[in-house]
Amino acid sequence: MPPADLQADCAQCFGLCCVALPFAASNDFAADKDAGTPCANLRADFRCGIHAQLRDKGFRGCTVFDCFGAGQKVSQVTFGGRDWRQNPDSARQMFAVFPVMRQLHELLAYVTEVLDRPECRPVHAGLRRASQDLERLTLGPADVLAELDTEAVRQEVNALLVRAGELIRDAVPGKKKNHRGADLFGARLRGTNLKGASLRGACLIAADLSGADLRSADLIGADLRDADLRGADLTGAVFLTQAQLNAARGDAQTGLPESLVRPAHWQG
């Protein structure tokens, strides 16, 4: 499993994802909400009042969001356990820091994942330096974090992640498919051999991937909303996140990496 500090711990967070981020009425959210405005379902103790019924109440988007542990980092480390209700003067800055911290923690999660992959040994030294640099950034003061150029940080780390993904895919024998950034909305890929394929940033919304072989595929940034993963084999897939799985459809026959869990809403 990912390190504990890269997993969301809502009990140690001040409901930041329920306040800092905006959402619009859609299939994913039952109502509109502006950034910086608390969700109507947020309770006084920073817990969600409909957590067990989010999908039934029209808040499916909440069930697929993952802060990668950024919420508790901002709440307990950056702001030292001082919440935005008791310290309203810090609220605006706290809400600005949260999405920055989430990006840093997401990158840390990707780097940590491939540090455990023996195929990536040629870039392990660079990945370790990146991990140390990212961790140092997450410990910076709020004013520095709020102004951080996250795009520059992401580009620098992404060069290492691209190489790591290539090394993992190169270890797969035979010719591999390259669908990087491809528009595969609703594509019929049932039973397709995508072992070692690049699906970085691919749009796979509502794609039929049932029974597909996705072992060692690079799925960083792939949009898997409503994708059919029933019976697909994702063991060894790289840069696949829990949020991507939560947004997709699967079943008991879907093969998953050891670090991820089968979503509760999957059938069969």
Amino acid present at 143: D
- The residues facing 48 across adjacent strands are 42
| Residue tagged 């991990």 (tokens) | 131
- For the cut 70, the answer to whether the pLDDT of residue 100 exceeds it is yes
Instruction: Name the percent of the chain lying above pLDDT 90.
Output: 96
- pLDDT at residue 1 tops 60: no
* Amino acid at the residue 181: G
Helix pair angle (91-115, 124-138), 10° resolution: 160
Mean per-residue pLDDT of the chain: 96
Per residue in 169-198, is it b (16+ CB within 10 Å) or e — as a string?
A: beebeeebbebbebebeebebeebebbbbb
Instruction: Please report the pLDDT score of residue 267 as a whole number.
Output: 77
pLDDT (0 to 100) of residue 4: 76
> Judging by beta carbons within 10 Å of its beta carbon (0-12, 13-18, 19+), is residue 16 exposed, middle or buried?
buried
Question: What does the pLDDT average to over 84-112?
Answer: 97
Q: Catalogue all structural domains in the chain, each as residue range(s) with its CATH number.
A: 4-169 (no CATH), 175-263 (2.160.20.80)
Where is 136: in which H helix or E strand? helix 124-138
CA distance 201 to 224: 10
Cα 48 to Cα 12, 20, 60, 166: the distances in Å are 13, 15, 13, 40
Q: For the segment 197-238, what is each residue's pLDDT rounded down to a tens digit?
A: 999 999 999 999 999 999 999 999 999 999 999 999 999 999
pLDDT band at 133 (very low <50, low <70, confident <90, very high): very high
Distance CA 255, CA 185 (A): 22
pTM across the whole model? 0.95
